Amino acid sequence: MYPAAQFIASYDAGRAQRYYLFGSTAPFADLVNYYRTQLKEKGNLVFQDPPTHMFEIGKFNDDTMAFPPGVTIKDFTTGGSPGYANPKAGAQPARFPSIIMIVPPPSGAAR
């Protein structure tokens, strides 16, 4: 996990998977470079606007998984947006420039 990233929430993705959202004040490019180093793969820029970068961390099985296991980073400051609102009232920062979504493989799945 990126240092200083703040846990926001986890959600049931279905098919025995959860996904986890973390907010970060780090710029999108810094997060992409961090995960490139940590995961030892370059990942893919899947959307230009808003910039969204995805790293696959396991094999996707359409029969048993709702989401491909991976790390997705999204820039929430595109087009002048102030960022992703912190859902914790009064918490700092009030908005996160970047969001990290972690989707681990389901228990027992091959990596």
Instruction: Walk along the chain (111 residues) and give the pLDDT tens digit of each residue.
Output: 899 999 999 998 888 789 999 999 999 999 999 999 999 999 999 999 999 999 998 888 777 888 888 999 999 999 999 999 999 999 999 999 999 999 988 765 554
Residues recorded for the chain: 111
pLDDT of residue 55: 97
Question: Per the domain annotation, does 35 fall within a domain?
Answer: yes
Q: Name the residue range of residue 70's domain.
A: 6-103
Whether residue 1 is contained in a domain is answered as: no
Show the tokens assigned to 32: 């992409």
Instruction: Classify residue 110: in a domain, yes or no.
Output: no
**CA end-to-end span of the chain:** 18
Residue 111 lies in a domain: no
The answer to whether residue 19 is domain-embedded is: yes
The CA distances from residue 103 to 53, 66, 106, in Å, are 14, 10, 9
Model pTM score: 0.89
Domain total for the chain? 1
Query: Can you give the pLDDT at residue 88?
Result: 93
Structure confidence at residue 61 (pLDDT): 77
In a domain, 81, yes or no: yes
